[in-house]
Each structure stands twice: as C-alpha cells, then as structure tokens.
Amino acid sequence: MAAPAAGGTAPSTRRVRAVHYLNQFFAGIGAEEQAGYRVEVRPGLVGPGRALETLFDSQGTIVATIAGGDNYVNEQGAAAEEAIRVALREWRPDVVIAGPAFNAGRYGLACGLVCRVARELGLPAVTAMYPENPAVDVYRREAPIVPASADAAGMQPALRALARLALKLGREESLGPAEVEGYLPRGIRRLGRRDRPAHERAVAMLVAKLQGEPYTTELPVLPFERVSPATPVADLSHATLGLVTTGGLVPKGNPDRLVRGGAREWFRYSIAGLPALSADDWECVHRGFYTGIVGQNPNYILPLNLVRELEVQGTLAGVYPWFISTSGVGTAVAEAKRMGAEMASEFRRAGVDGVLLVAT
C-alpha cells in the first residue's frame, strides 16, 4: 500500500453507508392512487437506488430505502416527519439521499423535509430537483440541491451528480462553492482568499458588463418574486366571474391535444347554459395527481355547479360563458407568466370583474 503524502492522511477504504428516500411512484408502490401511502422503510435499495449504488463504484452502499406517498408526507407532515426521524435514527447512515424529485412539487417538498430531518439529526443530506421546483426556495439552505431536468428523462445525470456529492458528504469532506461542485447556489458566503483586491475585481466586472462580455458576480442575489394580491371584488352581486383551471380539464377525447404536463398552451371551452359539468362530456388529462375523482365528477377541478348556485341565489351576477384550461404541472415559470397574461387579457377585454382560479 502506498504511503500517504507528507502532511496528509491515507484515503478511507470504508464504504459510505447511505439511506435513500423515494416517493411512492419511484419506489414501485403505485402512481397517484397510492399518493396517500404511509412512510415505510425497506432494507437495501429500491428502484433508482440500483443505478445510484452502481454509480458509487463500490465506494458506497444503500443500506435502506425510505418510501412515502407524496400526499401523505405533505398532508400528514408531523406523522411523516416522525417516521422518517425514527428510520434515520435506526439506520444512522453516513449520508441521506433524497430523490431526484425533478419538477414534481410535492415530491420536492418531501425530499426537502427528509433533508431537514437529517440535518437536525446531524446527518449530511443531498437531493436533486429542477431549479424551478417550488421546494428549491423552501429548502435551499437545508442541504445541497443538485440541478436536475424537469422529468425523469434526466435520471442518469441527476443520479451521477447525487452519487458524487453523497460520497463526499458521507466522508465528511467539505464541499466547495456551488459553481465548482455543481449544486444550486445557497446564498452562503465563506471566508477565502482572492488573487486580486476587491476594487480591481469590481472594476473588471463593471467593464465586462458595460462591454457586453460574460462575467460572474461574487455576490449573487436570489430574488423572491412578490405578487400583490388582486383587489377584492366590491360587490359580487353585480360582478361577472371567469373560471380558470390548471387541472387539465378538456372535452372528452381531448380534441385540442392539451399535454398532460409542461404545457405551453391554454384552451377555452364553452360552458354557456351548462348548470354543471358531466363526466359524460369532460375528462382530465393532468399527470400530476390522481384523476379518478375528476373522472367521476369534473366539477371537482372546475366547480361550475357551485358557481351556478351562487348565480341563481343572486350572490353572483353572472359567469363568463367560456372557461380556460391548461395543465399546470411542470410548466416553466416564464411560460406560466406568458399564459397568465394572455388569459388576463381575454378576461379584461370581455369585461370580466373577477376570476376563480382552481389550482391543483
């Protein structure tokens, strides 16, 4: 065996022990119909864990997998958190790996919760998500988050990045800056030494900016967009209401071919004269939640029946004769802003006084 370099230490030959968290889908339990599945622990690796352990290249092993339904972890937070805490205490891994969650919001929030529990127990953790996953802003400081693609098509590169960081964390090695290690910036600054004084670096960045040349700021600002709430409708009895759903509601057969997720288009459909929506005429193509209930009652994601009752009672003056539909899951923020502006423009032109947006 080669002797360690002077002043150094011999590399550890101990395999890093990891616990992996997956949601019900990637754990092979089921799709949305199993989103309420309780948290459970399985010894060894499951699903994507097989590829993940291969990427450890014999330097690490997944000793257990924690699995939980997306709805259960988010809706029964206290119980889910306690079950995760008990599992991590029992297995006491060197590192905890969650996901990748891609652009699945509930899954991302669950992965973030797992990382927070791990940190509270003194265990390093790492996860992977699409940068626009809402969980990124919530859990950015809890653990390094590896940027992933919007869907599972990018599974392999996400697992590769997770494996590399998990091994470093499991060996208690310090991580370098985000741009070096490949995780999303966390807004954390550490003391260090630069080869040029601050005033020279600042002037160099300013010159590059003025000349349209690329540069990297030393103090990135992570903005949180603030959306001011709309002014309340003063008197609903004199107001016309518009209806919008991001639940992927379409006429039977999906004639406009609305996509199940990652939508870049929206469509409008007539509800003139309809007292309610019928399952004989409407269906749901959304991929991000269990659609069985909507299949039986499409009013679940567009409550036309309840709005009509308000109209009959005189609480509401009228309903715009067209509703707007798109699939909200996996839609990029820029596309969502564009579509939202287009929808608002139509309602404004039609003299609509307020809009009821049913989100999933």
Residue type, 53: E
Are 136 and 102 in contact by the 8 Å Cβ rule? The answer is: no
Cβ–Cβ contacts within 10 Å for residue 107, how many?
30
What is the spatial distance between Cα 325 and Cα 266, in angstroms, rounded to a whole number?
6
Q: Give residue 353's pLDDT.
A: 94
Query: Measuring CA to CA, which residue among 279, 294, 278 is closest to residue 327?
Result: 294
Mean pLDDT by 10 residues, the chain (360 residues): 40 82 95 92 94 94 96 93 96 96 92 96 96 88 91 92 95 85 76 80 91 81 73 91 94 93 91 94 89 90 94 93 91 86 94 89
Residue 33 Ramachandran class (φ > 0 left, ψ -120 to 50 alpha, else beta): alpha
Tens of pLDDT along 39-82? 999 999 999 999 999 999 999 999 999 999 999 999 998 999 99
The three-state secondary structure class of 321 is strand
What is the spatial distance between Cα 310 and Cα 231, in angstroms, rounded to a whole number?
21
- Residue identified by tokens 């002077």 is 6
Query: Measuring CA to CA, which residue among 132, 21, 7, 156 is closest to residue 80?
Result: 21
Alpha helices per DSSP H over the chain: 49-55, 70-75, 77-91, 105-120, 134-139, 155-170, 178-181, 198-210, 292-296, 304-313, 333-349
pTM: 0.69
B/e letters for 73-97, b = 16+ CB within 10 Å, e = fewer, are bbebeeebbebbeebbeebebbbbb
Taken in order of first residue, the domains within the chain and their CATH numbers are: 16-181 (3.40.50.2300), 236-358 (no CATH)
Are 325 and 267 in contact by the 8 Å Cβ rule? The answer is: yes
What is the spatial distance between Cα 29 and Cα 14, in angstroms, rounded to a whole number?
32
What is the spatial distance between Cα 268 and Cα 204, in angstroms, rounded to a whole number?
52
What is the spatial distance between Cα 136 and Cα 103, in angstroms, rounded to a whole number?
10
Cα 59 to chain centroid, rounded: 30
**DSSP-derived pairing of the beta strands 318-325 and 95-98:** unpaired
Structure tokens at 127: 């996860």
What is the spatial distance between Cα 17 and Cα 286, in angstroms, rounded to a whole number?
38
Q: What is the DSSP letter of 253?
A: T
Tens of pLDDT along 315-340? 999 999 999 999 988 787 788 889 99
Q: Which helix (H) or strand (E) holds 96?
A: strand 95-98
The full length of the chain comes to 360
